[in-house]
């Protein structure tokens, strides 16, 4: 069974070939705090979890170029008037106030509220760990044991423990964050849904599908009630639950969820937005595994077209789409064409 693909806004799911989203994002405190550890800790993705998140303004941005930019002499602060085109690799710590049109690789990244980061932020979980641990202590001292700011920092720390496979350490932190948010914000708040998704992802990663399912279902209900039936968060929630069903071979349960997620994103993002590509790939893979090859091929071709137009022919996500399409081609007796797709994917990954 091929893994599914995912990339989107808040906590997008599915065991993915190129990335998986589906816990809550690492968050920056909204409080104007004098401590940079509190105000702008980690905002992005952990490579070990395959997460990709959006920028601090809450909006996705397309990558214009994808040429690695490697320089040990880059400033530790990307100021608001600077723009980095390509991937940014830093040996130490970097604060971003401007725009980075690519991925960031660093020990720790602080992203300002006005900054734009179009790609993933890949962090060394071991190096980053002291920062969220300190942030939890600072939050509890400043705000008390029941404040939503503390819940955010607990979530950050839990996410890093999860990245290290420390599930027993992560679980009580996610649970405490959930309790704080339910008490402070009410049980129907979208932030409660985010906590439920985070805890469900932890269960999912451990194969605890029966524990994860009701949490995903509850998050979906909360977001639909609070945000409406066409909000992008609903597409995320639908993908999360669909991926859980997919992994268990429950394809008839997964299909309507994936189809609805695609409809929501088409309506809210438009028919050519790059965030539609994972939706199309997910549904195509479901159709392929069911032997519905004609339907699957149409979606794979559309996903490829969108990604090539938005990201360029050499972007790593193109390799994922090409490999997925190649699998379908092989299963339908078109080995020569599959080899072409695989060769293109290999050239991109080199």
- CB 158 within 8 Å of CB 198: yes
Helix (H) or strand (E) holding 121: strand 121-123
CA-to-CA distance for 277 and 300, rounded, in angstroms? 9
Q: Is the pLDDT of residue 244 over 60?
A: yes
Q: Which residue has the higher pLDDT, 161 or 185?
A: 185
Rounded distance, CA 151 to CA 137, Å? 12
User: What radius of gyration, in Å, describes the C-alpha atoms of the chain?
Assistant: 20
Closest CA to 277 of 243, 244, 300, 257: 300
pLDDT of residue 106: 76
Lowest mean pLDDT among 18-22, 117-121, 193-197, 254-258: 18-22
Q: What's the average model confidence in pLDDT over 303-307?
A: 95
Cβ pair 52, 67 in contact under 8 A: no
| Bigger pLDDT: 318 vs 58 | 318
User: 20 near 11, Cβ under 8 Å?
Assistant: no
List Cα–Cα distances, 6 to 192, 273, 277, in angstroms: 22, 14, 8
In this predicted model, which residue has the larger pLDDT, 90 or 301? 301
How many CB atoms lie under 10 A from the CB of residue 16? 23
- This prediction's pTM: 0.70
Q: How confident is the model at residue 180 (pLDDT cuts 50, 70, 90)?
A: very high
Give the span between the Cα atoms of 141 and 192, in whole angstroms. Answer: 23
Say how far residue 350 (Cα) sits from the centre of its chain. Answer: 24
Residues whose CB is less than 8 angstroms from the CB of residue 85 and which lie 6 or more positions away in sequence, other chains included: 64, 65, 67, 69, 101, 102
Is pLDDT above 50 for 198? yes
For residue 146, the surrounding DSSP H or E stretch is none
Phi, psi angles (nearest 5°) of residue 110: -110, 125
What's the full length of the chain, in residues? 350
10 pLDDT exceeds 50? Answer: no
**Cβ atoms < 10 Å from Cβ of 194:** 27
Which residue from 120, 122, 92 is spatially nearest to 105, judged by alpha carbons? 122
SS3 at position 230: coil
* CA distance linking residue 55 with residue 52, whole number of Å: 10
Looking at 110-189, list the stretches that DSSP marks H as alpha helix, in order from N- to C-terminal side: 125-128, 130-143, 148-163, 167-185
Please tell me whether residue 74 adopts helix, strand or coil conformation.
coil
Q: Alpha helix locations (H) across the chain?
A: 36-39, 125-128, 130-143, 148-163, 167-185, 190-205, 209-227, 232-247, 251-269, 276-289, 293-311, 316-331, 335-349
The predicted structure's pLDDT at residue 19: 36
Could you read off the pLDDT of 283-293 as tens digits, one per residue? 999 999 999 99
Q: pLDDT digit string (tens) for 306-349? A: 999 988 999 888 999 999 999 999 999 999 999 999 999 999 98
């Amino acid at each position: 069974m091929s893994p599914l693909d995912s990339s989107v806004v808040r906590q997008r799911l599915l065991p993915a070939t190129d990335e998986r989203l589906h816990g809550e994002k690492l968050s920056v405190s909204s409080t104007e705090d004098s401590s940079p550890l509190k105000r702008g800790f980690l905002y992005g993705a952990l490579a070990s979890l395959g997460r990709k998140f959006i920028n601090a303004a809450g909006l996705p941005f397309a990558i214009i170029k994808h040429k690695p930019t490697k320089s040990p002499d880059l400033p530790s602060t990307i100021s608001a008037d600077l723009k980095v085109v390509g991937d940014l690799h830093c040996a130490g710590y970097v604060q971003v106030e401007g725009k980075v049109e690519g991925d960031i690789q660093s020990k720790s990244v602080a992203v300002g509220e006005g900054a734009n980061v179009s790609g993933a932020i890949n962090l060394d979980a071991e190096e980053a760990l002291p920062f969220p641990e300190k942030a939890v202590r600072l939050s509890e001292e400043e705000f008390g044991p029941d404040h939503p700011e503390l819940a955010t920092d607990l979530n950050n720390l839990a996410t890093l423990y999860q990245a290290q496979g420390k599930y027993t350490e992560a679980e009580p932190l996610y649970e405490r964050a959930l309790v704080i948010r339910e008490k402070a914000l009410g049980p129907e708040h979208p932030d409660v849904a985010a906590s439920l998704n985070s805890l469900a992802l932890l269960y999912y990663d451990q194969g605890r599908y029966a524990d994860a399912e009701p949490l995903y279902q509850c998050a979906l209900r909360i977001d639909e009630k609070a945000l409406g039936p066409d909000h992008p968060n609903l597409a995320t929630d639908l993908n999360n639950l669909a991926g859980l069903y997919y992994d268990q071979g429950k394809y008839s349960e997964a299909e309507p969820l994936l189809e609805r997620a695609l409809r929501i994103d088409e309506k809210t993002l438009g028919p050519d937005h790059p965030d539609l590509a994972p939706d199309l790939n997910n549904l195509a893979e479901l159709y392929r595994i069911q032997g519905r090859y004609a339907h699957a091929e149409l979606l794979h071709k559309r996903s490829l077209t969108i990604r090539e137009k938005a990201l360029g022919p050499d972007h790593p996500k193109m390799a994922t789409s090409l490999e997925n399409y190649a699998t379908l081609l092989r299963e339908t007796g078109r080995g020569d064409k599959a080899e072409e797709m695989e060769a293109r994917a290999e050239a991109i990954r080199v």
